[in-house]
Structure formats: structure tokens, C-alpha cells
């Protein structure tokens, strides 16, 4: 009798082991290859980037090509009228580079200028919300430093889709419909983006021949076409027609800035973000606060763990909204905010049994968007994020050029005593942040877009991966919470995949939960790539909250 029983137990054990990879809590498998990978929020952009890799391009070549396609296929979320930030890991040197290509306010745009027009708070859209676009300058500087293929070659896929059109996918369609009212405000935005008087239907072919011509100018003439040439003149003319202040020298004088990434240690992993004017320091402060507690045995979606993370988010965001600004104009206490001592002080304010709806900022010591990630077969990683801010940005479409100007200026304040007050040639508080993390031979470029959602989403991704052993795909897919209405409060949107008893327990602690769909875009749309320096293997992940994929570089099957 003993032998049959032992055999049965062995078979049951083997069955459990065999099904462990199939009976899982996330939907997509990690993409793995010894060649490159490009992960974006749109499958055509991922494909374009992977094709650039197959032609011998580097991770930055692929990222630029993919980003250009995203500007065509997700015109509400990004494009050449927006800004760009980049973290680039160079495999052969092991060095990390940061690029801030966020544009400044025009010289003529000031608190006094707006006051004379009766404007007492920053406009959310319209020409006075527009700042100088930085995306093209960011492409140019990063390509000069890390690119391998000719600049012109990178724009061929985007030009093709702008000229010949593409089928509009589900999530992009929904974004488009939500912005019909904004697009109806001007004749040029109606002509370009509401070609039948309304947003294109799911599956409809949409083309943008004006943008195709603009991209050809960029491909042929380089970044100067945008900042000094024909495109620059069209931007200034359009601005003037709406009473705006953008002048040719605002564009010609602009340059991106290479910056040193900021970092913390989180349980043996080095986590990197970019310094202000971006909000990456909030992700690092939140992780620092979380590191004062051990991961809870109840799991990442248990009551104890979620309560701790929600409260840590409020503390970090209170500091973010108080101190973040352009460091060329204001002293931002980054060192103090990221110190372990300060994190312990902030963590001590967390009541394990009760939510704090408005913890307020501390006193540290002084001293819609698209995200994409690309890794090439050499292991170089581009962690790149680019955005218009709101959907279709300012709503002002540049005459004859096929793209909208961003509305990043909306994030300035008009309070003269605040570090983020509007000033000429100043960069506003910025929401978009790329990220990077590493430990020993493992290097990960990641990001999760979505306005103020980004720092807390980064922290949740890191915790899922480091604290709970998830792979990069599972860490992206796991249920998330976010911040409501750009402010610190007890209003917490959260995905419906969190168990009902946990939701109730959080409500009992004072959290006002706003339960959203299982995979709502309100939680942002993330991508991640990972390189193992020891094995040479690359991995990629793409968030199911978007229309994208992690696309591996195809092999060259034609070579002899």
C-alpha cells in the first residue's frame, strides 16, 4: 500500500509543479530573447523600433523611431509638440546618463502678462498653456551621443503611417472621443484630427499627411528645421494668431540638458530617477518611507501593505507639491528629501489603523503621456518618456504641420511666493519620469505613464519586483492604486481586482476608495525591459492597460 500512496503523492506534486507557470495571476508572458526588445504602448511603434534594431540600430535609434511612430498613432498623448526625458544605460561602460529635454516658458509669458489680461490662474489649455516643445531636441542630442544609424532612417516608419494611415485601436479611440470638445475649439484642430467631424471609429484608417510632410522636414534637415526653420516659423505664426508670446528666439535658444540621475538604495537595489523639475524624487521618497517597514506577509494586495503604501504616497506627494520646481530658478532640497533619516521621520507619522487625509509637507534639510523602453542586443537600455501633458496638449494645432503644442505651462502656478511660479524661460513642474534600477548583473529600464500617477506607480512596480519576487510582466500587471485629482487626500482610485474584504478593511481605516475597472488606464500604462549582463539575455514586458506589446528584434534570416 505504501508504494501506490507514494506514487500518487509524487504525481500530485509533479502536477502542481507543471501547472505553476500556467495557473498564474497575470495575463501575459515575459518576452525573452538574446536580441533586442522594444516595449511601447502601441504595437506598430514597438514593431518599428524592433525593425530598427534589426538594421543594426542601438537602443536609442530604436527608441526615437518608436517614439516618432507613437506621435502619429497616439497624437493625443505625445508628439513633436511635447517634451521628453531619457535615462540611458550604456552597457560597455556601465554608465548611466540622464537627459532633461523639457521646454521653457516663452520670454514674453509672465505672471504680469497674464494679469493684464485678467488671468489669475494658469490656463489648462489654449496658447498661454504652451511651452517650447523639447522632444525633437531630445531626440537630436541623444542620437548624436548614442545613435548608430543615420538620423533620416529613423523617421521612415512614422512617415509611412502618417502618409498611408493606420487602424485606430480601442484605447486610443476612447482617448480621442474624450477630447472632441477641445478639438472643436479651433479650425485647424478640427481639420486635422476630426476629419469627419468627430473622432475616428475603432478600426478606422486615420492618416495625417501634414505630419508626414513635417516629419520629412525633420528627417532631411535635422532638429534645426524645428527650432530655426520652417516648422519654427509655423509655430510662431500660429502662436501669434492666438495672441500668444512664442517668438523665434524662444525656440532657437532652447537646448536640452544632460543631468545626473538621482538614486536611493531599496533593499539592495539601486533605483534611479531624474532630478527636478520632474517628479521622480517623489517615487524615491515613497520607496525610502516604505523601506522603513518590512514587506507584509499578507502580500502586495493585502490591507497592511496597501495602507502603508497609500500613506507613504501621501507623505511623498505632500513634499513634491511643496518643493518641486526648476532648480535653475529655485532651491529644491533633493538631498534632504531623499535622506534615510528624513524617510524615518516621515514614516513615523503613519498610523497603521487610520488614514491621514492631508499630512502636509515636511521640513527636509536643505542642500498622458507615452513611455517606452528599448534594449539592444549589446545590452544598452533606453528608458524614454514623452508627452503633450493633457490629451492633445493645449489644443492648439500648428498651422499646416499636423501636430498640437503641449500644455505643460498649465503646471506653473501664479503664486509669487511658490518655487514653481511662472517665469520667462523657466521650466514648469513636470510629471513625466523615466526610471531605471539595477543590482549586480541585472539592469531594468521601466516607466509607468499617467500624470501624477507616475511616482506612486513606479514605487508599486519596484515593490512588486523586489519585495514580492514578481517578474517584470507580473509587476506591471498587478492591481494598483493611484492619486485622485492631482491632490493629496483620502480619495484613492483603486482597481477592482483587489479583494472585496481588503477594500472594506481599507475603508474602515478611513480611505475613500474609488473602485475602477480591472485594468483601467487611470493607473497608467507601463513598459519595462531587463538585461542580464552575465547571461546576455534580454526580457521585455508591456502593460495590458495599453494597446502595446514588447516586440523582440527579428533575426536576420537572409544573411549567409
The cell numbers describing 546, all together, are 495599453
The size of the chain, in residues, is: 560
Are 412 and 403 contacting, i.e. CB atoms less than 8 angstroms apart?
Answer: no
What is the number of alpha carbons within 13 Å of residue 377 lying toward its C-beta?
15
> Does residue 21 sit in helix, strand or coil?
coil
CB neighbours of residue 359 within 10 Å: 18
CA distance 258 to 130: 23
CA dihedral 163→167→173→175, nearest 10 degrees, is: -50
CB neighbours of residue 81 within 10 Å: 28
Check if 369 is active-site.
yes
Catalytic residue among 186, 214, 369, 482: 369
Summarize the chain as % helix, strand, coil (round to 5).
40, 20, 45
The cell numbers describing 69, all together, are 511612430
Cα–Cα distances in Å, from 58 out to 271, 290, 377, 468, 552?
23, 36, 8, 33, 14
59-73 vs 43-54: helix crossing angle, rounded to 10? 150
Are 85 and 102 contacting, i.e. CB atoms less than 8 angstroms apart?
Answer: yes
Sorted by sequence, the CB contacts under 8 Å of residue 215 that are 6+ apart come out as: 68, 155, 158, 159, 162
Annotated catalytic residues are 369
Amino acid at each position: 500500500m505504501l508504494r501506490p500512496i507514494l506514487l500518487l503523492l509524487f504525481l500530485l506534486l509533479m502536477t502542481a509543479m507543471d501547472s505553476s507557470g500556467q495557473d498564474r495571476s497575470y495575463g501575459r508572458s515575459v518576452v525573452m530573447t538574446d536580441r533586442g526588445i522594444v516595449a511601447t504602448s502601441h504595437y506598430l511603434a514597438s514593431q518599428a523600433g524592433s525593425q530598427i534594431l534589426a538594421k543594426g540600430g542601438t537602443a536609442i535609434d530604436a527608441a526615437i523611431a518608436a517614439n516618432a511612430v507613437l506621435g502619429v498613432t497616439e497624437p493625443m498623448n505625445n508628439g513633436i509638440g511635447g517634451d521628453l526625458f531619457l535615462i540611458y544605460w550604456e552597457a560597455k561602460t556601465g554608465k548611466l546618463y540622464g537627459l532633461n529635454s523639457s521646454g521653457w516658458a516663452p520670454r514674453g509669458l509672465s505672471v504680469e502678462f497674464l494679469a493684464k489680461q485678467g488671468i489669475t490662474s494658469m490656463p489648462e489649455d489654449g496658447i498661454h498653456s504652451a511651452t517650447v516643445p523639447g522632444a525633437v531636441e531630445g531626440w537630436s542630442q541623444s542620437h548624436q551621443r548614442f545613435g548608430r544609424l543615420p538620423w533620416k532612417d529613423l523617421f521612415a516608419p512614422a512617415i509611412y503611417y502618417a502618409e498611408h494611415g493606420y487602424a485606430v485601436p480601442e484605447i486610443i479611440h476612447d482617448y480621442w472621443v474624450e477630447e472632441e470638445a477641445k478639438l472643436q475649439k479651433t479650425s485647424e484642430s478640427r481639420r486635422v484630427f476630426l476629419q469627419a467631424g468627430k473622432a475616428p471609429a475603432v478600426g478606422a484608417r486615420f492618416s495625417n499627411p501634414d505630419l508626414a510632410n513635417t516629419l520629412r522636414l525633420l528627417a532631411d534637415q535635422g532638429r534645426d528645421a524645428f527650432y530655426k526653420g520652417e516648422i519654427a516659423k509655423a509655430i510662431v505664426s500660429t502662436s501669434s494668431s492666438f495672441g500668444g508670446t512664442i517668438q523665434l528666439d524662444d525656440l532657437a535658444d532652447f537646448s536640452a540638458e544632460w543631468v545626473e540621475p538621482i538614486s536611493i538604495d531599496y533593499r539592495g537595489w539601486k533605483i534611479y530617477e531624474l532630478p527636478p523639475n520632474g517628479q521622480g524624487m517623489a517615487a524615491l521618497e515613497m520607496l525610502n518611507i516604505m523601506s522603513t517597514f518590512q514587506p507584509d506577509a499578507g502580500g502586495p494586495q493585502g490591507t497592511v501593505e496597501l495602507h502603508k503604501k497609500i500613506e507613504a504616497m501621501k507623505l511623498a506627494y505632500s513634499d513634491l507639491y511643496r518643493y518641486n520646481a526648476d532648480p535653475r530658478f529655485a532651491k529644491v532640497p533633493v538631498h534632504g528629501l531623499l535622506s534615510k533619516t528624513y524617510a524615518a521621520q516621515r514614516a513615523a507619522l503613519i498610523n497603521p489603523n487610520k488614514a491621514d487625509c492631508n499630512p502636509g509637507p515636511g521640513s527636509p534639510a536643505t542642500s498622458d503621456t507615452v513611455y517606452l523602453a528599448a534594449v539592444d542586443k549589446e545590452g544598452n537600455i533606453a528608458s524614454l518618456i514623452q508627452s503633450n501633458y493633457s490629451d492633445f496638449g493645449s489644443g492648439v494645432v500648428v498651422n499646416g504641420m499636423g501636430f498640437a503644442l503641449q500644455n505643460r505651462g498649465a503646471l506653473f502656478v501664479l503664486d509669487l511666493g511658490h518655487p514653481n511660479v511662472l517665469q520667462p524661460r523657466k521650466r514648469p513642474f513636470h510629471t513625466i519620469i523615466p526610471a531605471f534600477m539595477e543590482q549586480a548583473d541585472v539592469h531594468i529600464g521601466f516607466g509607468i505613464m499617467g500624470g501624477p500617477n507616475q511616482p506612486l506607480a513606479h514605487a508599486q512596480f519596484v515593490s512588486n519586483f523586489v519585495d514580492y519576487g514578481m517578474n517584470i510582466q507580473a509587476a506591471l500587471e498587478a492591481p494598483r492604486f493611484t492619486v485622485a485629482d492631482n491632490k493629496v487626500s483620502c480619495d484613492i482610485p483603486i482597481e477592482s481586482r483587489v479583494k472585496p474584504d481588503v477594500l472594506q478593511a481599507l475603508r474602515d481605516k478611513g480611505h475613500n476608495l474609488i473602485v475602477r475597472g480591472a485594468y483601467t488606464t487611470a493607473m497608467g500604462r507601463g513598459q519595462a525591459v531587463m538585461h542580464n549582463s552575465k547571461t546576455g539575455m534580454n526580457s521585455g514586458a508591456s502593460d495590458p492597460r495599453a494597446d502595446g506589446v514588447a516586440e523582440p528584434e527579428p533575426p536576420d534570416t537572409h544573411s549567409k
